[in-house]
Structure 1
Amino acid sequence: MSDVDQAKQTARERVWALLEREQAVPPGVHGRIPSFFGAKEAADRLAGLPEWQNARVVKVVPDTAQQPVRARALREGKIVYMAVPKLAHEQPFLLLDPAKLDVSPDTAADRHTATRIGKPTDVDTMRAVDLVVCGSVAVNRHGVRLGKGAGYSDIEMALLQEAGLIGPQTTIVTTVHSLQVVDGELPETRHDFSVDVIVTPEAVIRCPEPRRPQGLHWEDLPPDKVAAIPALAARHPPVHG
């Protein structure tokens, strides 16, 4: 584990322990995107922002903490894209079209139901994304965020960036518990993206100088990670010997 990876993990462990100590999450949060108490209130606060109200197409992570966001988007008639868990399929995203659902928006927002009924979709056939909602373990007021450490969100964002589906006009939001908002610096690498807006159940925090992914940095991706993600393996540049 590199020094940066170790520093990230130390920060995650500190936040996970704090959330459990303050009973802000159900037990067993370590190793996960926290399913924090107040997630619905955070989704409701997000829905009051003009960026949400103007968005027609949203991309939302499959984590339980963001289920209220997915439900609200579908209830309001927004197109929702959700990543396939662990990006394990050749078509790494699922399309949830509220006009074509045969279940309620709240049912469709459940990640297990969404995985079953969502239409598998590749970036080549996706619509441009107006708003991205991601989960975080920790985030600071500059918009630097830490996920749970698997790196899937960063790869999803890089794929969307390379396909021209996100850009400076796309707003990136994270919904978190207020205890997940940390003061000071957080470690980051060039694959990491920052968020524009942090939404907690109680507040909206707008971040300065957002940073977008610049696409995939193949030299930073371990071969086993590329091999495990079909969408990456299919795009990997040929190796010339």
Structure 2
Amino acid sequence: MHSTMNSTLESTDEEKAGRWSGRNVDKDALRREIWERLEETGVNVGPVWSRISNWVGADEAAWRLSQLPVWKQAKIVKCNPDPPQIPVRLRALYDGKIVYVPVPEFGSGDLPWVKLDPEKLSRDGVQFELAATSQGSVQVGEKLSFEALEPIDLAVCGCVAVTRAGGRTGKGGGFADLELGLFRDLGKITPETPIVTTVHSSMVVDDDRLPIMEHDSLLHWIVTEKEVIETKTMRSQAGGVIWELVLPDQFEEIWFLKQLKEDILARKAGQAAE
């Protein structure tokens, strides 16, 4: 009996540590702290562990984001597929913006991106409320490759913790930084493309809690249910993908990554030879 109870506790602890725990001990501890706080304060909406957790006030943060000039000027928005950003995707569609949404964790063997065109959705009689959900977007959107995306005006990332200096961490899988690096390699975003997030105010932590790594992309704007934070970061953004920092399990789990790496490196070699 004692052995069984220990096994159950160990399983629970492993689940709470997150699927990608062990890559960065400090970030692991910070994520756990944030997830625990969401549960303890009761501001979570649904489960919190090992994910971009949903929270009370996400719709208010989306409204605040929609008032910013960088939002109003954007015609094409990239947004993560997670629940707290459903209000962001919904506002983008109602504001007439094209929305690119990645298939969760880039899928497995299908094209990794979904294009939501509000005009087409309206013609097809598709409710924006359905299209704004993760499953709904995959169901009704147009599937695309990384290369087929048009240049992006605004990039929205899901986060578990952020700093006022623009630092961020997600759930630990490395998808957002890899995604943004690929965008830069493919010319889909520029150093001036705003990178933003919506988070609960309890997810904003002191700058020294999130050391900025070589491959990290910095946030320009952080929007909570209470305030808008312009990070005004002076640090330059990461360039394209730093391939030597991509982990073996990322190459194994992200089905298209090896081929896309070959294509990008071949393109760069060709440009250098011209």
- With normalisation by structure 2, the TM-score equals 0.82
What is the match of residue 146 of structure 1? Answer: 169
Aligned residues of 1:61 and 1:133 also touching (Cα < 8 A): yes
Aligned to 1:204: 228
User: CA 1:211–1:145 in structure 2 vs 1: closer, same or farther (change >3 Å)?
Assistant: farther
Displacement after TM superposition at 1:90 (Å): 5.4
Give, in angstroms, the shift of residue 87 of structure 1. Answer: 1.2
Q: Does 1:215 align with 2:240?
A: yes
CA shift at 1:29, angstroms? 0.7
Alpha-carbon RMSD: 1.9
C-alpha distance in 2 between matches for 1:200 and 1:211: 24
Between stretches 68-77 and 80-89, larger displacement belongs to 80-89
Q: Residues 4 and 234 from structure 1, CA distance in 2 versus in 1: closer, same or farther, beyond 3 angstroms? A: closer
- The structure with more radius of gyration: 2
> Structure 2 CA distance, aligned partners of 1:210 and 1:43?
26
Is 1:59 matched with 2:78?
Answer: yes
Q: Secondary structure at the match of 2:238?
A: coil
**Structure 2 unpaired stretches of 5+:** 1-19, 264-274
Report runs of 4+ in structure 1 exceeding 6 Å deviation: 1-4
| Percent identical residues | 41
Q: Does the 8 Å contact 2:77/2:99 carry over to 1? A: yes
Q: Does 1:11 align with 2:34?
A: no
Distance 1:161 1:142 in 2: 21
Partner of 1:111: 134
In structure 2, do the counterparts of structure 1 residues 210 and 177 end up closer, same or farther at CA, with 3 Å as the change threshold? farther
How far apart, CA to CA, are the structure 2 residues paired with 1:224 and 1:162? 21
Question: Which residue of the partner structure matches residue 193 of structure 1?
Answer: 217
> Hey, what's the Cα distance between the residues in 2 that align with 1:140 and 1:232?
30
C-alpha displacement at 1:3, in angstroms?
Answer: 8.3
> Hey, what's the Cα distance between the residues in 2 that align with 1:25 and 1:224?
30
Query: Structure 1: which 5+ residue stretches go unaligned?
Result: none
The answer for the alignment partner of 1:79 in structure 2 is 98
Q: Distance in 1 between matches of 2:191 and 2:261?
A: 25
Task: Find the aligned partners of 1:174 and 1:137 in 2 and give their Cα distance.
Answer: 10
Shift in Å at residue 91 of structure 1? 2.7
Three-state SS of the structure 1 residue aligned to 2:207 is coil
1:136 pairs with 2:159: yes
Matched, 1:156 2:197: no
TM-score normalized with structure 1 length: 0.93
1:100 is aligned to 120
| Corresponding residue SS for 1:179 | helix
Report the alpha carbon displacement of residue 75 of structure 1 after superposing the two structures with TM: 0.8
Distance 1:222 1:184, change over 3 A: closer
8 Å CA contact 1:90–1:230 kept in 2: the answer is: no
Partner of 2:50: 31
| Aligned residues of 1:175 and 1:200 also touching (Cα < 8 A) | yes
1:90/1:214 Cα in 2 relative to 1: closer, same or farther (>3 Å)? farther
